[in-house]
Amino acid sequence: MTGSSPLSALVAALADGSVEVVDLTSPLSASTPVIQLPPEFGQTAPFALAEISRYDDRGPAWYWNNFTSGEHTGTHFDAPNHWVTGKDLADVASVPASRLIAPAVVLDFTAEVEKNPDFLVEVDHLKAWEAENVPLPAGGWLFVRTGWDTRSHSQEAFLNADENGPHTPGLSPECARWVAQESPVLGMGVETVGTDAGKAHSFDPPFPCHSYLMGSDKYGLTQLQNLAELPPTGAVVIAGPLPIVGGSGSPARVLALVERG
């Protein structure tokens, strides 16, 4: 790298703090909230570690573990083949690496969600934001901030379910269709357990974010943290799922590069 190259400039900016790395990832542990489906369906496994050795007779100089986890546990990446509408599209290992680094915009609906946990984002909300800010980024991410990451310490608070099912925010069916089929973004990121609202099982189509996004060869990022630390525009996101061959998704380390000062 030469002193004047873009990569050299980035390295210098990271070193002097003018570009900050913000971790958008929820730490993975046995207490990480996981989605709960009706009992007639298969269930995801919670994250768990199984010790192989820890500086003992099983391995005197090293510590390591096996782990078990669902693909869609914690902060994770949804690949197109995750949903039946995208069943013939890419698995998570086939997502081009060039699409894992992209700009992002952050739309803040925390005030609305504080009043109504079932709040739904509509197309008009997105168009009004574009009119006041910039167009949604071509080949970038749409991040929906709701403040839901503050609930991630508790499975009960995070799912926020009662006898009628979970109550969490998301997109309306028409908004999900518009984001998937008419907007230029490559995917959507949320702070909730999945890209769909808690009541999305009763929408038409059911779970429209999954149905439309996956069917349009777009992606999802879920259980994001620290979106409050990102500006509405200007962040660059690095999403790093494991390249699981045949996998429908993967836990991911998601980082954002943000200019400061």
> The domain that contains 148 carries what CATH number?
3.50.30.50
Number of domains the chain is built from:
1
The closest of 74, 69, 72 to 27, measured between CA atoms, is: 74
Residues of the chain with pLDDT under 50: none
Asked whether residue 51 is assigned to any structural domain, the reply reads: no
Over residues 62-118, the pLDDT tens digits come to 999 999 999 999 999 999 999 999 999 999 999 999 999 999 999 999 999 999 999
- Domain span at residue 109 reads 6-27+71-259
In this prediction, residue 96 carries a pLDDT of 97
pTM attached to this predicted model: 0.96
214/6 Cα distance (integer angstroms) = 34
Catalytic positions, written as ranges: 82
**Taking a C-beta distance cutoff of 8 angstroms, is the pair 28, 68 a contact?**
no
Asked whether residue 59 is assigned to any structural domain, the reply reads: no
In this prediction, residue 261 carries a pLDDT of 76
Asked whether residue 243 is assigned to any structural domain, the reply reads: yes
* Residue 23 burial (10 A CB sphere; 0-12, 13-18, 19+): middle
DSSP state of 91: -
Which residue pairs, CB below 8 angstroms and at least 24 apart, start in 32-37?
32/73, 32/74, 32/152, 33/152, 33/154, 33/155, 33/158, 33/159, 33/193, 33/223, 34/70, 34/73, 34/155, 34/193, 35/72, 35/159, 35/193, 35/194, 36/159, 36/161
The closest of 187, 175, 20 to 103, measured between CA atoms, is: 187
Asked whether residue 165 is assigned to any structural domain, the reply reads: yes
Asked whether residue 66 is assigned to any structural domain, the reply reads: no
The β-bridge relationship of strands 161-162 and 165-166 is: antiparallel
In this prediction, residue 1 carries a pLDDT of 59
